[in-house]
Amino acid sequence: MSRYTLGLDYGSDSVRALLVDVTSGAELASHMVNYPRWEKGLYCEPGQDQYRQHPLDYTESLIEVVNGLWSNVPANTASQVVGMSFDTTGSTPVPVNREGTPLALTEEFAENPNAMFVLWKDHTAIQEAGEITVAANNNDVNYLSHMGGIYSSEWYWAKALHIFRTDAAVKEATYSWVEHCDWMTALMCGKTHPADFVLGRCAAGHKMMWNELWGGFPPNQFFTSIDPLLDGLVDTLNPNTQPSDQAAGTLTAEWAQKLGLPEGIVVGYGAFDCHMGAVAARVRPGVLTKVMGTSTCDITVTSAQQLGDTCVKGICGQVDGSVIPGLVGLEAGQSAFGDLYAWFKNVVLWPTRQLLSELTDSGQLALVERIEETTLQRLSHAADLVTPKPTDAVALDWVNGRRTPDADQSVSMALAGIKMGTDAPRLFKALVEATAFGARAITERFRDEGVPIESVVVIGGISKKSDYVMQTCADVWNCPIDVLESDQSCALGAAIMAAVAAGEYDSVAAAQEVMASPVCKQYLPNSDRVEIYNSLYSRYQTLGGYVSGGKP
């Protein structure tokens, strides 16, 4: 009889469920559900960089997506599931009370955005991140030494402090803060109470300043030196973190009934989406795995011996066992990739969308829908026909700030070299090149710090949807790019980890041999464009230095 594991992948807009055969590695079925409140734009203020998600979006969508999965498989399939694991965006933490309940799930805070999950792309905590960076770098022990040396407004402590400063009622009601990937895991196991709660290694190491070198988290006095509002928060956190190949517990009767799954199946420790995606891509030393979506997250691994005493500057952390047990996981990424293309599409289509309220003819409405659907495709096709030159317009990819290298969410996107002949396709070309240049800056930082990057494996919708974007990346990076076959690589990585946690395999490597995704396509660089892109990349760096005021 076949056995299956379930991978649940929580993205920025939706949750995806993937059912995988642990014996053959076949992806049996998948299903996706959008978050209903997020889809309506509730609790978000884009003009203020505020992005919040209600816990009910996560729990209601989980029930819907898993039960929707069963309609695509034979009737008895659910009974053969032996384990499940989660991956989520991050850092996406939420304040919880003394019972471990997210405040937004209580009557008092049900509609308060400050009591909800603070999504990764929420950049309201820029000031707080700067204060944490200064405090850590001026401390006798630099608690950011293994996190790139810069704390980001996208991460746990900055977000918690910002909310505490903003909302006294939320501060008063908060006992602790919990990452999304850890909360989903604990919820399934009935272990959300702080006395039972255990954190996964991934979130704790990459976003929460956890490290074995200082026995877990920085001491309380470090945080109170930044602001007394943080007093006691670190003492609510269990320093005994666990990697994702371990079992966090078993599925409760309550959630088994809601999801149509057997009670008591194993639930593995959760992790961030990009880390699980890297597992599905069989990440290994020398290979950079890049999850390409609205933003990007880049993961590579290396041995502790190879890394030595090096603390890679300006990245999102290096954590032993955060991706693959026995290897150091290193994370970087860009705050905007597909988001930059979406921004340009919105700008281009603004006049068209204003006409919608005036149209009544079904044919006209259908035409507008067709324009919406094909805008980026047509821009890509036209941009692909433009031969790049060193004098072309150049852009920065910092429309949502800069994640790495050297986190700075205060910087902005810029365009330079625009002339009367710079039409929409040429502007789009500059934006695509900007995202490729931003990715190149990451790989160059790794190499400069002694972490070899020889090839790139890409995951995510963009890698399947746009030959133009992928070929541009290959030309700019001047290295081969492999595209994974799986359309749900992050969920697949979670399913692989669930298989190990459930005892189906004795190691992650053994599970990957059977369950990891094969490559479906490869892009090779065009040698005649490498030097042109070297020149344009140099202009990108110059523009970046100007916009950031000379900062790195």
> Could you report the per-residue pLDDT of 459-489, keeping only the tens digit for each?
988 888 899 999 999 999 999 999 999 999 9
Q: What is the mean pLDDT of residues 179-201?
A: 98
Q: What is the mean pLDDT of residues 302-314?
A: 93
* Percent of the chain surpassing pLDDT 90: 93
533-543: per-residue pLDDT in tens?
A: 999 999 999 99
CA distance 251 to 262: 8
- Give residues with Cβ within 8 angstroms of 373, minimum separation 6: none
CA distance 72 to 303: 41
CA distance 503 to 497: 10
b/e map 74-84, b = 16+ CB within 10 Å = eeebbebbbbb
490-516: per-residue pLDDT in tens?
A: 999 999 999 999 999 999 999 999 999
Query: Which pLDDT score, from 0 to 100, does residue 552 have?
Result: 52
Query: Which pLDDT score, from 0 to 100, does residue 1 have?
Result: 78
* Dihedral, 540, 544, 545, 547 alpha carbons, nearest 10: 140
Residues across the chain: 552
What integer best gives the mean pLDDT of the chain?
95
Query: Which pLDDT score, from 0 to 100, does residue 551 have?
Result: 61
Q: Of 19-28, 123-132, 362-371, 372-381, where does mean pLDDT reach its minimum?
A: 362-371
Phi and psi at 147, nearest 5°, equal -125, 25
Query: Which pLDDT score, from 0 to 100, does residue 147 have?
Result: 95
- For residue 435, name the pLDDT band (cuts at 50, 70, 90): very high
Strands 81-88 and 266-268, bridge-based pairing: parallel
> pTM value?
0.92
